[in-house]
Structure 1
Amino acid sequence: MDDKPGPRVLKFELFASCVSVDFWMTLSKKKLETFGLDASAKRISGSYTTGNSSTVSSRLDVTYDAFDDEKQHSHTLTYPAEGKLLLFNTIEAFRDCDKQQLADQEGALLWTLITSGEALEHPSMLTNFFLAGYADLKKHVYRYWFLFPAVVYPDALVHESEPLEITKIFSKECVENISDFSHRLSHEQNAFLIHQDDASFELFHLRDLPALLSKTGKITLCVCDGSAQKDNPGWPARNILALYAYYVRSHAQHHRIQLVSLRKRVLNGQTDIDHSIVMDLRVVFTPDQIREIPQTPRTVGWERDEKGRLQPRMVDLSSQMDPQKLAEQAVALNLKLMKWRLVPQLDLTLLHGTKVLLLGSGTLGCNVARCLMGWGMMNLTFVDNARVSYSNPVRQSLFTFDDCIENGLPKSQAAVQAVKRIYPGVNARGVQMNIPMPGHSVPTGMRKEVVETITQLERLIDESHVVFLLMDTRESRWLPTVIAAAKEKGVCAV
């Protein structure tokens, strides 16, 4: 029996997603203010670095600026990865969507980039990602699943020999030339070629591959790689090797390929690539892959969860949020949902900025205030002249038994304290006032006080957009109605 081991198949290190907290905060804001119920895919971006240590997995970072169309990658070690965000409106839609269909759709786009030649011009387009997710904005819990799409093509890539460091394959001068050439390329050019024969060593853009296939000599493929593993290149190399295989399938002399897993780091202020790995590989095709124009291959790349299962991940940010901010966002979400689903023309910004004067803080005043807060009207001024009595709490929803003790709190003051306990973000104040009424005589000694009260009432109405008349008697409503009408303010009599 022949115990000789078979060829060792090349494996790739899948990206590990790394999503910053501020990305989720930006996503929440976008969902509330821009996306609404629109569940179409949105463009986002991430990045990966070639400067990982030997103990860190190849990582793809998505941060707060993922939605920025003008995002720049200025760091020498950082390369862009374009992505899509598909944010579902319900957890059921996220859970039940066909994940393989999503992968196949992204794989078809990759295959088009490869077969059309577009990826030869812009190889970084082959390093992308797809983020499917559901955001529970009330609880600040986010469920998500990353796809790093890769086409399964060719049939296999096998090692011809053990991988070696670049300094054991190329001379110091050649290594410096490779490093300099890589440094001069734009961040969208994460792969390039070396062509060498007995007389020359030349560096080319990836777009020159079809022309180089007709020349004699050896082609080496260089991929800027985020992997830190000696035997396995990172995920960016997978689709670029598929691109290479597609173009060499009818060129048997190039079915053996040298791959440089180019790993950059900064040492003493200089870019260093001496820890890069060189692999001698052989491309293995099925007979059909050589004879025919290949159809779209199968697509893989869904990230596993923390326990190694093919399942979504979850992040709970509620413990990291300010409770008041949590309340504000939860209230905002409820209002947005009402707008999106019931009243699209509702102007929530207008409601939020409306200043309301509540004249009367009894049964009507308490309930109207709660209703206004439910619609996002958070600028409230309570006016009343009474104190909370023991008969009030059972009918007047803002007051409790404690408000009645020791002669009772002024109703306007107790109402302000109550609405702030209900929702700390409310902008509320209370005014103790006896509103002058027609038919009620004013003693000589009280005239100055009455005039001051009328002046104060005018000022309160001036400062408000809407006045609610919530007092018990018609007489007490007469003066505010006259003043508000004269100042062309909206008046609601309840």
Structure 2
Amino acid sequence: MPTLQFAPFSSVVSPAFWHKLTDLKIDVLKLSDEAVPITGTYTAGKSIFDRETGQEVLLGTGFSVGGESFDASSTTSHDESTLPGASGHSGNAVTATGSFKNFNTIEEFKALDKTKYFDEEAQKIWDSIIATKSTTELNRFFVITFADLKKYKYYYWFSFPAFVSKPAWEIGEGSESWKSVVDVLSRDELASINAQLRAEPTLPAFFLVKRARGGSQGAPAIGKVEDYETFFTDVPTSEVRSSSLPRSIRSLASLTKRLRRSSSLTLARPQRIVSFIDPSPDPQNPGWPLRNLLAYLRALYPESTTSVSVLRWRDTEVTTPTPNTVWKSQIGTVYLKEVEGAAAGKRPSAVGWERNPNGKLGARLADLAPMMDPTRLAAQAVDLNLKLMRWRILPQLDLEKVSGTKCLLLGAGTLGCYVARALMGWGVRTITLLDSSRVSFSNPVRQPLFEFEDCVDGGKPKAECAAERLRKIFPGVNATGHTLSIPMPGHPVPAGSVEQVRKDVEKLEALIDEHDVIFQLMDSRESRWVPTVLGAAKGKIVINAALGFDTFLVMRHGVRARDQKEGHERLGCYYCNDIVAPGDSLTDRTLDQMCTVTRPGLAPIASATAVELLTSLLQHPDGVHAPPPPPNPELGPSSQAETGGSVLGAVPHQIRGFLAQFRNLQLIGRGWDRCTGCSEGVLEAYEKDGFDMLLKVFNDQKYLEEIAGLDKMKEEGEAAMEAVDWDEGSGDEFD
């Protein structure tokens, strides 16, 4: 008789598997190469009819893994609706458990002792058979991978360990080979088997069929392979009937020859049937799962399994059978000449490494880059550098908090362009720019979001042009620009412009409401006043950056007095050191005074410092209430320990940079209760009167000093000076 051949599995990996692996590698596994449990599925073998050739075309013996293979819920065969107690399963797939091992380098992937690793995985299957008699591990598989996440190339190698029978199993030739199931079992029996399988909570990979004593007249019973011994207790092991079979015939080889010669001997319809969901559509070669099923039976029941009637069940898609149903399953009897190896308690050798498309034992390559959306590629690449920080350096880094922060940039000039680029580098996805000017010919060399073409024909609006360039750099960013003029104290509003200014203020208020952080990156001092008041009133994070020729200031505003945490000293805003209200700093200025004349390298330094200050603040558990570290040692006690840091380090209040000395100083400015920008008097006046209060400030500088209390402070100062008893003596006492 010919040796029984088996159709091996062929892995089918969906792109979702690789996407899930990418996320798992970056966010969970990181540098770990520990094996991870996964699941895969296979279905019954299928074929399609080719109308042109009139022949059946066999489909592959596919074993599929996808994105759901990594989910914890997929360690069971089906979802909640198919758990025990449900009314039956609706799936046509069998779920197999396995493991997945990803290596950190291609060298480690290649250097793995694959023989040893395979042997360890095969031993797990064998141990499960011997120790628990369970069939759950018979379809166990594993896959080793290396993920080149920069190029989106994935090297992988599947293995489906299966035990080798020695001697090999045999199958009869011709009519004694695999037969159509309808030639052995009646349609009623098939319908009953199908109904019982569909009533199972999950589709079993293996099962037993016991025919009724009346043969086709009764319904067969379905059982678990684990119950083999008890399930077939009342069924004889012999499938041969004869009135003249000599007792001297003992060997299966002699029995087979005698059966072929004797016309008086016929094979009875089998009553003991071992069944499995067959993934192979090949009429001659059953699927790979049968190998381990036969090994299981030989290991546990060697005396009764020298011949086994096998049902290759392929009719998982039949729902309601009819008399015209075409049953695709097959049935046959396989034989073993003698008892060796597994029957003697020895673990047989195993095979199972999948061959590559060239038919050789070797890894395969999945290159996803050509089929991926470039926008998605960019998004993953942008995040990769940030997530790598968490692997070895900062595992506590909360990148999602940074990327979810919405930033409003007031000013799209030199500072605005550099701040926007640095924010994108940190993964910030929402950036809104606001500016009132257009791109001029002097801008592109200093402001990296503009080009020469943006300057012609009067220049494009800066904010909109900068936002468009951000989207070109990275399509995944939500960047928008608004042309808007921010009204300022000391710049009176003509009567005819009041409504337009009102609309501008309303739009600015709406934008501040929609964002979490306000970057003040404007040219003039007074243009920062309205955003300072609105930011403090609405509880927003405010980051200030200002440039001199070779100096810069970067600072974060403190919270308003009523929101200050107990035990924390209130930090000041941009105006807390002023004893006069901000006024017109632009009128009657020379060209060099009107333009920001600064060393070219200063703006990138200040901008990067401002963004790094924000990210450090976002990582601090106290957020906007984070206390600053002590000032520089030369400005305070050197023994004072640094406090209040986040995972990224210190969260200072002010950084003053001196490029000529290549030196930075960290300073602390206390909040002032008479500040024109953040004092309660100013904020309460705004909350009470809104735009009307702002309009008064624009038109009357003294009004702002009045509501802030500066006028009273001046009066108190003058009174104190007058109260001093000045000695107008000759001064001889100093001689």
Instruction: Tell me which interval the TM-score lies in, with the shorter structure as reference length.
Output: 0.7 to 0.9
Is the alpha carbon distance of 1:95 and 1:110 closer, same or farther for their aligned partners in structure 2, counting shifts above 3 Å? same
- Calculate percent identity across the aligned residue pairs: 38
Flag the 1:26–1:168 CA change in 2: closer, same or farther, 3 A. closer
Residue pair 1:160, 1:282 contacting (<8 A) in 2 also:
no
Aligned length: 479
Tell me if structure 2 keeps the 8 A contact 1:50–1:224.
yes
State the one-letter code of the partner of 2:533: V
Asked if 1:132 corresponds to 2:144, the answer is yes
Q: Which amino acid in structure 1 is aligned with residue 522 of structure 2?
A: M
Q: Which stretch of structure 1 is more off in the superposition, 98-107 or 186-195?
A: 186-195
Aligned counterpart for 2:287 among listed residues 234, 243, 247: 234
Question: What is the 5 A alignment of 1:310-349?
Answer: 310-349=361-400
Q: Distance in 1 between matches of 2:490 and 2:100?
A: 68
Name the CA shift for 1:216/1:422 in 2 (closer, same or farther; >3 Å).
Answer: closer
Change (3 A) 1:283 1:233: farther
- Residue 3 of structure 1 corresponds to none
Kindly indicate whether the alpha-carbon contact (under 8 Å) linking 2:450 and 2:465 is maintained by their aligned counterparts in 1: yes
Counterpart selection for 1:280 from 326, 331, 334: 334
Of residues 359-368 and 345-354 in structure 1, the stretch that sits farther from structure 2 once superposed is 345-354
Residue 109 of structure 1, aligned match among 99, 120, 124:
124
The alignment partner of 1:126 has SS state of: coil
Aligned counterparts of 1:178 and 1:116: Cα–Cα separation in 2:
34
Conserved 8 A contact 2:205-2:276? no
Q: CA deviation at 1:216?
A: 5.0
What is the SS of the residue equivalent to 1:125? coil
Which structure has the bigger radius of gyration?
2
Instruction: Provide the residue aligned with 1:487 in structure 2.
Output: 538
In structure 2, the residue corresponding to 1:395 is in which secondary structure?
A: coil
**Is the CA contact (8 Å cut-off) linking 1:80 and 1:124 kept in structure 2?**
no
AA paired with 2:287? G
User: 1:207 maps to which residue?
Assistant: 226
**Compared with structure 1, are the counterparts of its residues 440 and 133 closer, same or farther at alpha carbon in structure 2 (3 Å cutoff)?**
same
1:441–1:259 distance in 2 versus 1, CA, 3 Å: closer
Structure 2: how far apart are the matches of 1:273 and 1:455? Answer: 74
Q: Give 2:113's aligned residue.
A: 98
Equivalent residue, structure 2, for 1:4: none
State how far apart, in whole Å, the 2-side matches of 1:230 and 1:493 are. 77
What SS does structure 2 have at the residue aligned with 1:407? coil
- Map Cα deviations across residues 353-375 of structure 1 (whole Å, 9 max, x no partner): 21211122111111110000111
Is the 1:15–1:234 Cα contact (8 Å) retained in structure 2? yes
- Secondary structure (helix, strand or coil) at the match of 1:327 reads helix
Q: 1:452 to 1:307 in 2, by over 3 A?
A: same
Residue 160 of structure 2 corresponds to which residue in structure 1? Answer: 148
- Please give the alpha-carbon distance, in whole angstroms, between the structure 2 residues aligned to 1:224 and 1:206: 13
Moved more, 364-373 or 336-345: 336-345
**Corresponding position: 1:192 with 2:208:** yes
Higher strand share: 1
What is the DSSP-based 3-state SS (H/G/I as helix, E as strand, rest coil) of the residue aligned with 1:17? Answer: strand
Cα distance change on mapping 1:135 and 1:342 into 2, 3 Å: same
Q: 1:48 to 1:464 in 2, by over 3 A?
A: closer
Aligned partners of 2:152, 2:318: CA distance in 1, in Å? 41
Question: How does 1:53-72 map onto structure 2 within 5 Å?
Answer: 53=47, 55-66=58-69, 67=71, 68-69=73-74, 71-72=78-79
Is residue 39 of structure 2 the alignment partner of residue 45 of structure 1? yes
Instruction: Report what 2:179 is aligned to.
Output: 166
In the alignment, residue 59 of structure 1 is paired with which amino acid?
A: G
Q: Where do 1:7-86 residues align within 5 Å?
A: 8-31=2-25, 36-53=30-47, 55-66=58-69, 67=71, 68-69=73-74, 71-72=78-79, 74-75=89-90, 77-86=92-101
Residue type at the aligned position of 1:133: T
Look up the SS of the partner of 1:326 in the other structure: helix
> 2: CA distance between counterparts of 1:170 and 1:482?
89
Deviation for aligned residue 1:449: 4.5
* Structure 1 counterpart of 2:459, from 360, 383, 408: 408
Work out the CA distance in 2 between the residues paired with 1:355 and 1:257.
69
Change (3 A) 1:406 1:130: same
Q: Deviations over 1:125-153 (max 9, x none)?
A: 31232222234444443332211121234
3-state SS of 1:392 partner: coil
Match of 2:261 in 1: none
**Gapped runs of 5+ residues in structure 1?**
1-6
Contact 1:466/1:490, CA 8 A, preserved across alignment:
yes
- Deviation of 1:276 (Å): 0.6
Match of 1:471 in 2: 522
Quote the Cα distance in structure 2 between the aligned partners of 1:487 and 1:263: 67
Q: C-alpha separation between the residues in 2 aligned to 1:420 and 1:55?
A: 49
The aligned counterpart of 2:658 is none
| 3-state DSSP of counterpart to 2:121 | helix
Q: Which range moved further: 14-23 or 391-400?
A: 14-23
Contact residue 178 and residue 284 of structure 2 kept, 8 A? no
Query: Partner amino acid for 1:99?
Result: K
Relative contact order: is structure 1 or structure 2 higher (C-alpha 8 Å, sep ≥ 6)?
1
**CA distance in 2 between partners of 1:189 and 1:483 (Å):** 67
State the alpha-carbon separation in 2 of the partners of residues 343 and 390 from structure 1. 43
